[in-house]
Amino acid sequence: MSQENMPSDSIIKISTRTAVILLLFTLAFTTLMAATYKVTKQTIDANTEEDKLKLIGEVLPISAYDNKLLQDAIEIPAMPLLGLDTPSQIYRARRAGKPVAMVLEAVAPDGYSGRIGLLIAVRASGEIAAVRIVQHKETPGLGDYIDIHKDKNKSKPWITQFEGVGLEQVPRAEWKVKKDGGRFDQRAGATISARAVTNAIGRALQFVAENRERIYAAPAHSKLPVAQPAQPRP
């Protein structure tokens, strides 16, 4: 930078200098962000984990099973059918050694404002026990009724309509919102959020139906061998 005052500075030199300055600023502030990320990551992860435990309690009451749920987990690879692009865990609830339900994560990638994270409990008999939204950025006051805590209809929240319903009650092809010709309600003005969640639950049920035996049979902490990608259906 010693020649910065020389009149012979060419355009190239000036623009290089500007670019270097911009690069330096970018590096400095990226470092700041990375440092904050590192410092806060543990707390944020712990918070998310704690929330998840609380949430599992919501989709599956503790009285329904007698095994150590968090220990009886298996790992599944990234499953496009569940919308997951990272490995995830399935928790298996048992009572007196017999399967009662499984709790799994799924993602609806097509929410109004990005991904919607779901936690789904599916009974061993194939029906949904309950579904909760773990993470979303849907519009407050409009699309966020998918989250039971934001739902203004407290007596019959939207997300509870899936409870007790499985592929036997509603065929796979009808796991859509009514607006798309399916069986499930959506609320006026925010169909996209409801559609994303309903479709994701349908896909998750399909995944469970195709893999149920293997999921319950796999030893704890093992990796589910090959969770076969589902055949695309006509």
State the residues that interact with another protein by CB under 8 A.
17-18, 21-22, 25-26, 29-30, 32-33, 36-37, 40, 43-44, 47, 113, 137, 140-141
Residue 115 or 178 having the CB closest to another protein: 115
- Which pair of tokens denotes residue 85? 């692009």
Q: Are 166 and 205 in contact (CB under 8 A)?
A: yes
Q: Are 169 and 127 in contact (CB under 8 A)?
A: yes
CB of 28 to another protein, least distance (A): 9
Q: What distance in Å separates the CA atoms of residue 181 and residue 159, rounded to the nearest whole number? A: 18
How many residues are present in the chain?
Answer: 234
Residue 23 or 70 having the CB closest to another protein: 23
In 60-92, which positions are buried (b, 16+ CB within 10 angstroms) versus exposed (e)?
beeeebebebeebbbebeebebbbbeeebebbb
CB of 55 to another protein, least distance (A): 13
CB of 135 to another protein, least distance (A): 9
Q: Are 156 and 140 in contact (CB under 8 A)?
A: no
- Which pair of tokens denotes residue 191? 């169909």
CB of 47 to another protein, least distance (A): 5
Residue 105 or 147 having the CB closest to another protein: 147
Residue 113 or 125 having the CB closest to another protein: 113
Burial class of residue 175, CB neighbours in 10 A (0-12, 13-18, 19+): buried
Residue 51 or 185 having the CB closest to another protein: 51
Residue 26 or 153 having the CB closest to another protein: 26
CB of 228 to another protein, least distance (A): 36
CB of 188 to another protein, least distance (A): 13
